[in-house]
Structure 1
Amino acid sequence: MRPPESRTVETPVTTPLIASDPMSRSVAGSVRCLASSILVSMAVTAGATAPAHAQEADALRARIDAAVTQVNGRVVAWRRDIHQNPELGNREFRTSKLVADHLRSLGLEVQTGIAHTGVVGMLRGGKPGPLVALRADMDALPVTEMVDLPFASKVRTEYNGQEVGVMHACGHDNHVAILMGVAEILAAMKSDLPGDVMFIFQPAEEGAPAGEEGGAQLMLKEGLFAKEKPAAVFGLHVTPLPVGTIAYRAGGIMAASDTWRMVVRGKQTHGAYPWGGVDPIVTAAQIVLGLQTVVSRQSDLTKAPAVVTVGQFTGGLRSNIIPDTVVMVGTIRTLDPEMRTDVHERVRRTAEHIAAAQGATVDIDINLGYPVTFNDPELTAWALPTLQRVTGGRAIERPAVLGAEDFSYYAQETPGLFVWLGITPEGQDPETAPSNHSPLFFADEAALPIGVRALAHLAVDYMTSQGSVTSQED
């Protein structure tokens, strides 16, 4: 939830009943004078404390901004090295070693091997305060790079039985380099930090290999937050927006992503005598059409958008045989947890009733994927001044995206904020720029220092705002 704002507590003072004799009037006057002195003292103390914390925060921010310039060359070098040597999910061996070695060199407490190749660094501040988590994902994609860069990926591997290239086509190389830079900057000022920072370098955001677990869910399962739970978690993702901008949204910013599989069962017969069987192809086709009404006619779209998509339709062997079965697979995307459950129920009901009307049956499996990436509304409102500061007023509110992100699992455990970092070069239209997962995806390195400033400022602002409240209430 949003860090509480500083506030001055007014203590009510009860004035004694003033008697008519001089002694009573004298005592009453003394009490009033004492009460007034206490109130003045409290006001002065509170007034002095708030500016002191503001000065502390300003000093830390100034040190961050100066350090960003100094560390930027290394951030760029890390990014290029990681980009040139991409690794798929749960196989980020080289990347995780690079990260772990760097964190150890900074004096952090380092844990490796969590969720296969994950790395966690703990920075202990010199002053009491909250624990803040910052996250970067490390994995690349089975995409053959087509961008002409001196540090372009030449890595190739076998994926699902095919030889393919490997590329940081979703920009995770930027995320890792940015967080390495943040760690270096904050470690240099750890004695002055009013709190601790957990640096999460996560594998397999794009999904684990078949038959394996991975990603954020596995990191949590293996105890990431078990011993020390952060008060807040922050993350970012590069995307085609103008470089220099950061986009945000309170509430659902990325969708829950679920997959479904249906097996429509009819009765096989000769294609010349369809009345002798039950046609699963016609039944499945009617289900496809019926599913189009789940969102457009059955769901309350004033809450949030949703999508139900049929991505595969398979059935039959030859022209004159009506088959026994048809298999369909697809995806469901939702931005509201209640709507997610409701859409699942409506998909099942629609398919089952249409099948029954045709004399067929349908088996439906809905596999839950990543949940909604939900930005805590109060935390988002609190963070907006920070985002505006680091972008020079170029933090923009953006509509939700129906892609999915497993940062959502962290945000289910503690208040979270996930933002978009613009990486489209000046003079290029973000609307026509190659999207994430494209072999032509390109990130302007001018975005790197903005990302470093954003995460570092968010961490420090959160710690100092919490610290000011703690000192006043204590």
Structure 2
Amino acid sequence: MTSRDDLKRIAGEAIDRAGDRLIAFAQDILEHPEPGFKEVRTARKVEEFMRSLGLAPKTGIALTGIKAVVAGGSPGPTVAVLGELDSLIVPQHPKADPQTGAAHACGHHAQLGMLMGVVVGLLAPGVLPALAGRVAFIAVPAEEYIEIEWRNALRQQGKVEFLGGKPEFIRLGELDDVDMAMMTHTTSNPEEGRLAMSGTNNGIVAKFIQFHGRAAHAGGAPHMGINALNAAMIALSAIHANRETFRDEDTVRIHPIITRGGVAVSSVPADVRMETFVRGRTMEAVLDANTKVDRCLRAGALAVGGKVTITTLPGYLPLLTDPHLAEVYRANAMALVGEENYRQLGHRTGSTDMGDVSHLMPVIHPYAGGASGIGHGADYLVQDYQNAVLTAAKAMAWTVIDLLADGAAKAREIKAKHKPRMSKAEYLQFMRSLFSERTYDG
């Protein structure tokens, strides 16, 4: 019987041998960024890589998602390793697509390199037969919750129900056979070391807002119009006036953008559109802030005598980290980078749809150093692919080995100790309860 240490050595050496290919794969994805639910080329490249290793992935899940499952030498739990397919839109980024402005300013291309690295490591000779259970390799679309109006149109067309990839995977039953899950994100913060374990993240709801006014000649007869842009500006000021009512411990974040401000400078704006997130540490905080935001939006319409249509869309639940699964990862991370280069993180005010998965099963969402610049900014670039792809892949592969070796004793133990916050049915019911669309006449 091969020891766990030997299995890890075999997996790690396989990842190292494939290192150039894995890094080149990640860099190719960097050069061809695609936003959420549009990751056609990216998904094809992931599929081709998987098939080149002998996998038979299921494709087209939630439009562009991919899932491949491999079985160990005996039955046991299923561990999922995930990576995200999508990019942001940051036109100023040096690697931005000149037509779409899409750019990997959050390091998802490195995630896909890590994911393929875990595949390579676990498919190394002798590894899988020594494990009990299955491993699901999953590439999910649309983690970055952007282009809300466009995605809401997909929902209206019946192509998706939720606007994020992992909620769609949950809805479609693609995680029904998964017992625990992990993925690794890159970080550019040097204080977070080479590998780090996440704590918690904010949850969110998303909003698409349309102010309705009346067009008129902006110079000759502005009194005949109803200025929808003024309604939006009043609403924004009202939101700002409410910021002092948010408790510091709730880490509320509200950051609207105007996506349409009018059609011509000579015409009173009659159709003004906004998108925003409402974020908070807990869903209670999110929903409280959301009520205040709705009040502000209605006030803007009321002030000018216009109308406002407010569409509230389910976003992501706060991230929860399973401490027992995190402890398994921690030991492997320290073995790879040393205790001095490992960090335990606290609460982060960004959001991820891995939070949704964490309400259903044990989840970890560690971070790998190697990037520079500001996350979601024009200068965010992965510099150290050795750490951000290869070391991160080894840490996850070794964690899977620890979970599923020895008859999957550790995975069974973690599963037995874990108490899910929600069942799948409860999750879907809650998410659907967040949706609303109302028009208010001022």
Structure-2 separation of matches of 1:233 and 1:316 = 47
CA distance in 2 between counterparts of 1:141 and 1:283 reads 29
Aligned-residue Cα RMSD (Å) equals 4.2
User: 1:451 is matched with which residue?
Assistant: 392
* Higher mean C-alpha displacement, 306-315 vs 111-120: 306-315
360, 372, 381: which one aligns with 1:413: 360
- Aligned partners of 2:231 and 2:306 also within 8 Å: no
Q: CA deviation at 1:264?
A: 7.8
Cα deviation for residue 452 of structure 1 reads 0.8
Larger radius of gyration: 1
- Report how many residues are paired: 394
Establish whether residue 170 from structure 1 lines up as the match of residue 106 from structure 2: yes
Q: Is the 8 A contact 2:239 2:296 kept in 1?
A: yes
Tell me the amino acid that sits aligned with residue 65 of structure 2. G
- In structure 2, the partner of 1:378 is 323
CA contact (8 A) 2:199 2:346 kept: no
Match of 1:203 in 2: 141
% same residue: 23
What pairs with 1:235-274 in structure 2 (closer than 5 Å)?
235-242=183-190, 245-251=194-200, 253-261=201-209, 263=211
The equivalent of 2:401 in structure 1 is 460
> Partner of 2:171 in structure 1?
221
Query: Which amino acid letter does the alignment assign opposite residue 111 of structure 1?
Result: K
Q: Paired residue for 1:114, among 24, 48, 61?
A: 61
- The SS at the match of 1:413 is coil
Q: Match of 2:431?
A: none
**Which sections of structure 2, spanning at least 5 residues, go unmatched?**
155-159, 417-442
Query: What is the distance in 1 between the residues matched to 2:117 and 2:270?
Result: 59
Letter in 2 for 1:61: K
Match of 1:338 among 284, 288, 291: 284
AA aligned opposite 2:133: G
1:290 aligns with 2:238: yes
Distance of 2:96 and 2:292 partners within structure 1: 46
Amino acid at match of 1:137: E
Q: What does 1:307-456 correspond to in 2, within 5 Å?
A: 307-312=253-258, 314=261, 329-349=275-295, 352=298, 363=308, 365-379=310-324, 381-382=326-327, 383-393=329-339, 394-424=341-371, 433-438=373-378, 441-447=381-387, 448-456=389-397
Name the residue aligned to 1:231: 179
> Residues 145, 121 of structure 1: CA spacing in aligned structure 2 closer, same or farther, 3 A cutoff?
farther
Distance in 2 between residues matched to 1:277 and 1:144, nearest whole Å: 35
* Residue 27 of structure 1: aligned partner: none
Partner SS state of residue 120, structure 1: strand
Give 1:352 shift.
Answer: 4.8
Please give the TM-score of this superposition, normalised by the length of structure 1. Answer: 0.68
Distance (Å, rounded) in 2 between the aligned partners of 1:238 and 1:288: 33
* Bigger mean CA offset, 438-447 vs 187-196: 438-447
CA distance 1:66–1:219, change in 2 (3 Å): same
The amino acid of 2:122's aligned partner reads: L
Q: Distance in 2 between matches of 1:449 and 1:133?
A: 18
Letter in 1 for 2:58: Q
Cα separation, 2, equivalents of 1:314 and 1:444: 41
